[in-house]
Structure 1
Amino acid sequence: MASITFDIVGFDLDGTLIDTSGDLAAAVNHAIGTVGLPPFPVAAIRPFVGQGARVMLDRALAASDAQDDALLAQLLPVLLDYYQANLSAHSAPYPGLLDAMDALAAAGVTLAICTNKAERFALPLMDQLGLSHRFASIIGGDTVCVGKPDPAPIHAMIERAGGGRTIFIGDTINDIAGARNAGIASVAVSFGFLDGPVEELQADAIIHHFDELLPLLQGWPQ
């Protein structure tokens, strides 16, 4: 098997490692339901996801013809409290992820996470899914008081994972721009919470399934 020249493979969480759309949709629908707005199907909420809870809720209110700053401020804590209590009812790793992580670990690669999801959601979610032990570091959106695309959280992820040559995998412009700002290579996934063509993220490479990750990294230029 060809060797992998990266010491660390870093991942975004929502839309990259884990499909959290079902639980995020449930939280949105609970929040808007408290003011009598009708629920959305999960497929309709997926395009709202990817830029944080506030933006997700704002997009849902806009789609409900109920966009209003005061209503947004009222419903955001309702959404967050519900989500915190229901993190993993419908969330699961994307197909091929577990096998890819096993192969990377067997190749001596360290795995890490850098997400803009706050620690109070990210850490319990990974615990509940039984995945926390697989990652040398998990950096949340509030761990270093700034999120991606600022490079600081990615630098913290690398440092806490032991340092070394790193590549970062994500599904949004925050992920790919964050990697670029941190001076590391990036891979975009086409199956995440995209709000445009994946090519527009301008990552160094694109994968459409986690089965493609190991061969991609084995063939990466040194």
Structure 2
Amino acid sequence: MAKFPFDVVGFDLDGTLLDTSHDIGMALNHALAIAGRPAVPLDEVSRLIGGGSAQLLRAALTESGGVDEAAFDGLQAQLLAFYAENIADHTRLFPGGLAMLDAFAARGVTLAVATNKLEALAVQVLDALGLTERFACVIGGDTLGPATAKPKPDMLHAMVERCGGGRAVFVGDTTFDMGAARAAGLPVVAVRFGFCDLPPDELGADVVIGHFDELVGALEGLD
């Protein structure tokens, strides 16, 4: 087998590797109910996901009447507590994900996760799905401090370093991911099936895929 062109493949988590929208939506609506706000339909939650729990909650509150700053931290804590208790009730890898991970393992590629989700929650959901050991590192939005979350490049620089260096690429679904990869000087792939905050072809990725069975070939094409 010819050498694969990338030593490290990094993934965003929510909306890229995992369809977490139902479980995140249930946690969001739990917090909104406490605030006396209407629920966000679960099939609409994905458009709010990408910037971490604070941005998710703030966006939903803004849409339903505004943010009460005095109550915000408590509501966010309620959201996170509910989510931690119900983190993988409905969450699954996107179709083709397991075979894709196996294909990279067969090629000796080092895999990583860089997500704006809190690190502990990212590890918890990967643990629940039996996936943690497949990744050399999991970097969350709080791992390096809140000022370093995507779209800043810090998380991706750390990802490459913790994976031992080499040629790296990042896979994501939002402008947060594209911006971080560009700022870090990495090629980037967008997924059509994610929680995209722009139409996938307008995210500015080097390549866009519609299913995980396309990813290995797409990266070989980037060589």
TM-score (norm 2): 0.92
| Secondary structure in structure 2 of the residue aligned to 1:111 | strand
Distance 2:178 2:154 in 1: 14
Question: Residue 30 of structure 2 contacts residue 82 of structure 2 at CA under 8 Å; is this kept in 1?
Answer: yes
| Secondary structure in structure 2 of the residue aligned to 1:187 | strand
| Percent identity over paired residues | 49
1:169-184 correspondence runs (5 A) = 169-184=171-186
Question: Residue 116 of structure 1 contacts residue 147 of structure 1 at CA under 8 Å; is this kept in 2?
Answer: yes
Distance 2:80 2:61 in 1: 15
Tell me which amino acid in the other structure corresponds to 1:147. Answer: A
Q: How many residues align?
A: 221
Q: Which residue of the partner structure matches residue 49 of structure 1?
A: 49
1:1-222 correspondence runs (5 A) = 3-145=3-145, 146-221=148-223
Gaps of 5+ in 2: none
Question: Residue 156 of structure 2 contacts residue 180 of structure 2 at CA under 8 Å; is this kept in 1?
Answer: yes
| Secondary structure in structure 1 of the residue aligned to 2:205 | coil
Aligned Cα root-mean-square deviation (Å): 1.6
| Secondary structure in structure 1 of the residue aligned to 2:216 | helix
Structure-2 change in CA distance of 1:38 and 1:177 (3 Å): closer
Gaps of 5+ in 1: none
TM-score (norm 1): 0.93
Distance 1:74 1:119 in 2: 20
Question: Which stretch has the larger CA shift, 70-79 or 104-113?
Answer: 70-79
Alignment deviations for residues 44-95 of structure 1 (CA, whole Å, 9 cap, x no partner)? 2221111221221122223333544344344222111211222111111111
Distance 1:71 1:142 in 2: 22
Runs of 4+ deviating beyond 3 Å = 65-74
Alignment deviations for residues 154-193 of structure 1 (CA, whole Å, 9 cap, x no partner)? 1111111121100100111111111111111110111111
